[in-house]
Amino acid sequence: MLKRLSRRYETQTMLESLANRRHETPFQILIATMLSARTRDEVTSAVSDALFSVYSTPKTLARAPLVKIKALIKPINFYKGKAKRIREVARIIHENYADTVPKTMRELDSLPGVGPKIAGCVCVYAFGLPQIPVDTHVHRISNRLHWVKTKTPEQTQIALEKIIPRKHWLIVNELFVTHGQQTCLPRNPRCCECVIAEYCPSNKCRF
């Protein structure tokens, strides 16, 4: 199934996309991922660009007035709480890590407002380290395929790590997010257009 999805969504293009994202600094990827929660991608991108044009490093963001951070990120959802968290994360990275974003899941997960999903995304998209970040798409599709039977993304991540070979971890999030956005939609999934429908127990298309 992963091979079919890889062919459908051109894995090589995705890997190039991951490499391009790593042209951004790990700190910018971390903060942008924190801002992205419950916010559309295009809004997150615009807000992140505006924020980093003024405060692009842990040191500058840690010392930024909260009112200015809020003004820059106001278009995103829950901007007030996120403003406080990203400034606190910037302060910790500046003071405790000498402006260098940590690379381990444990250290990333310990930062305020950074859970397993964000930590995994930073490992994958900032450092190219194999992890399986689980968002709503990965959680939904994994359960529809009956690969897992879980109630939370955290449970899904643990379960997927047990059944998917580590060599495939790097691309799982990107594949499932794309599949979830284009085909395996939250409502009214396009089963008759799905390249893995014949293997899916939740398939609603009659061949």
Catalytic residue numbers read 117, 135
- DSSP result, 69-113: HHHHHTTSTTHHHHHHHHHHHHHHHHHHSTT----SHHHHHTSTT
Determine how many CB atoms are found less than 10 A away from the CB of residue 37. 16
Size of the chain, expressed as the number of residues it contains: 207
167 token code pair: 């060599």
Compute the distance between CA of residue 152 and CA of residue 135 in angstroms, rounded to an integer: 10
User: Cβ(126)–Cβ(26) under 8 Å?
Assistant: yes
User: Cβ(90)–Cβ(112) under 8 Å?
Assistant: no
CA proximity to 74, closest of 42, 55, 50: 50
